Amino acid sequence: MLIVTVIILSVISLFIGAIDIKPSHLLNWESLETQIFLISRLPRLLAIILAGAGMGIAGLIMQSLSRNKFVSPTTAGTLDAAKLGIIISMIFFTGLSYIGQILFSFAFALIGTFIFMQLLERIKFKDAVFVPLIGIMYGNVIGALSTFLAYEANILQNVDAFFQGSFTLVVSGRYELLYVAVPAIIIAYIYANKFTVAGMGEDFAKNLGLSYRTVLNIGLIIVAIITTTVILTVGVIPFLGLIVPNLVSLYLGDNLRKTIPHTIFMGAAFLLFCDIISRLIVHPYEIPVNTTVAVIGSVIFLIMLFRGKAYAQK
C-alpha cells in the first residue's frame, strides 16, 4: 500500500505546478513543457523522495539508539548544529568551496548530535517527554547562537531564506547532493540488527558481544550525513524524522530490519503529500513545504505527547 501510495502521489506531483503539463505534451521532446518536466518537475520529485526517505531513516536511527520515541534530528539539536556549521563557514571562511561547506556542516551536525547523546547518558531522569524537551532546549541554544552570528554579520535574511525548507528552487544540477543519502540508507539497513540490539542498552549489547560505541558512532555518522545533505539542498524540514518512525512502529514494532523499508516509503509519501498540499493551497503559487510539514507534524506530535508515556514505552 505504501508503494502504491508513493507512485500515485508521485504522478500527481509531476503534473502540478504553475505551468500546466499534460502527458500528451511529453510526446514532443522539443516542447517547452517537456523541458520543464525534465529540468524541474522530475528533479523535484526525486529530491522529495530522497529527502523524505532520508529524514525518516535518520529519525528512526536516533530513536533506536536513544531508546526514546520522541527523539529526532528536530528534537536533538542535529538540524540546528548543521545550520550553525553552515553559518560559521559563511562568516569566517568566505572562500570555502561548496564541498567545504558540506564538510563543515557535517562536522557540526555530528558533534552536535554526539553532545546530545552524551547529555542523554548523564541524565538520570529519562522520562519519555523530558528527554526531547532537553533536546529542544539544547537546539534552541544552538539556534540562538546561529541567529546572533548571522545578525552580527548582517546576513540574517539570507540565512533565513537559505534554510527555508522548500523545493521551489530544486532543478536539475541543484539536488544531486541528496543522492549521498542512498548509500547512507543502505548502510543503515546493513547495520539494522546491530542498531536494534544497541537500542536495548549498552550493557545488553556488550553481553551479546556487540561493540556498542562503534555501532553508536556509525549511527550518528549516518544521521549527520543525511541531515547535512537535506539541509544544504532544501533547507530545514521539521518533525518528519519524528513522526514517520513512530507511525511505522505502531504496526511493525521496533525491529529496524523490518521497519526501515516501510520508513523509507512512508517518509517519501508523507513529504510528497505535504508538498502537494503546499502547491495547491495558493495555486499557482506555493507555500514552503516546511510550513505544511510543521503544521501537520506539530498536530501529530501533540497527539503523541498527549498519549504520553504509555505510547512511548510500547
pLDDT in tens, 227-261: 888 888 888 888 888 888 888 888 887 788 889 99
Question: What pTM was estimated for this model as a whole?
Answer: 0.85
Structural domains in the chain, CATH included, are 60-313 (1.10.3470.10)
Using the predicted structure, report yes or no on whether residue 314 has a pLDDT greater than 60. no
pLDDT top residue among 119 and 187:
187
On whether the CB atoms of residues 6 and 265 are closer than 8 A, the answer is yes
pLDDT in tens, 66-121: 877 878 887 788 888 888 888 888 888 877 777 888 888 888 988 888 888 888 77
